[in-house]
Structure 1
């Protein structure tokens, strides 16, 4: 796999305050330490002076908790970009659609992307799929992503962990390599 200490960007997808409202998203959430793991990865990227992209979902629906008029749209504490870091606002699941993310990655000669965020099966997955399709060596960090319980089309309730693991299983070795925070760390050593 080699080192990721050069030509690598961190993409932090939708770690926003609105995701603290468990009831709004359907109840139980998995990976309660996802944000802590994402912060540790963020700090490592800052130490290495690697590019960091914060993605903020800005729903077009004024009733959405993630609409820009609602407090839930704000990035969670500890996830504010520094002056030299990037904030990308999007209104669809992919961080690449309707944004300049790809242009910025290419301008910086990025070859590898590391993706963390919320929710695993929506914006994290869609961003990961497009990253892989665009030809970036893409890594999704399993314990730095999270999702919520959902009702299936059959009316059955699926747990957040089931959804999370199934989605990551679909991404792994097809669009990305799925790693844990601990598996990522040695790859970031110089």
Structure 2
């Protein structure tokens, strides 16, 4: 890794919708605090932060514009001048101008945080890696929820999170921690 200096911090889907009880059991309760620490650090260095917001078109989605869940979580509020990339799918590159904006700005490195590890985060990290961006995923600044696997076996949120990180490690991204980045 060339280091976080100059990397775009890309917080994904940090909206109130993710707190709805319908999601169930989650892992990593410290994620929002870690994200807030990274946002503060990036801002202190004047490094770029581009927020990704899910603008669902599904009628019953908590992420649909106009719903209270569409609002930002307090720990992840964009500040003036920080771009917001609205998306309609789980991948921040699909149907958006994210790639074009990154390339036009000469940005080659991304540091990704947010939700859901095995959904929007994983889809975006895979695409970023495939597009050739130097991508880091902050393991303790993202989280997911427990779910049943294909065979019907219940997997805890921590298991789902760990498997998603394993799927992404090395081939698509470097897996790092908040402490790694704050110490770099």
Superposed, 1:21-170 pairs within 5 Å as 21-22=20-21, 24-25=22-23, 27-170=24-167
Runs of at least 5 residues in structure 2 that lack an aligned partner in the other structure: none
Q: Which runs of 4+ in 1 moved over 4 A?
A: none
The range that moved more, 66-75 or 140-149, is 66-75
Distance 2:26 2:138 in 1: 17
Provide the TM-score with structure 2 as the length reference. 0.96
Deviation digits for residues 117-153 of structure 1 (CA, Å, limit 9, x no counterpart): 0100000000101111111100000000000011222
Give the SS at the match of 1:89. strand
Per the TM alignment, residue 4 of structure 1 is displaced from its structure 2 partner at its CA by 2.2
Contact 1:51 1:85 in 2 (8 A): yes
Aligned length: 184
Shift of 1:21: 1.4
RMSD after superposition: 1.1
User: Where does structure 1 lack aligned partners over 5 or more consecutive residues?
Assistant: none
Give the conservation status (yes or no) of the 8 Å contact 1:62–1:69.
no
8 A contact 2:33–2:75 mirrored in 1: no
Shift of 1:157: 1.1
Describe the superposition over 1:54-98 as per-residue Cα deviations: whole angstroms up to 9, x where unpaired: 111111111111111211111101322222111111010110111
What TM-score, normalized by structure 1, do the two folds share? 0.93
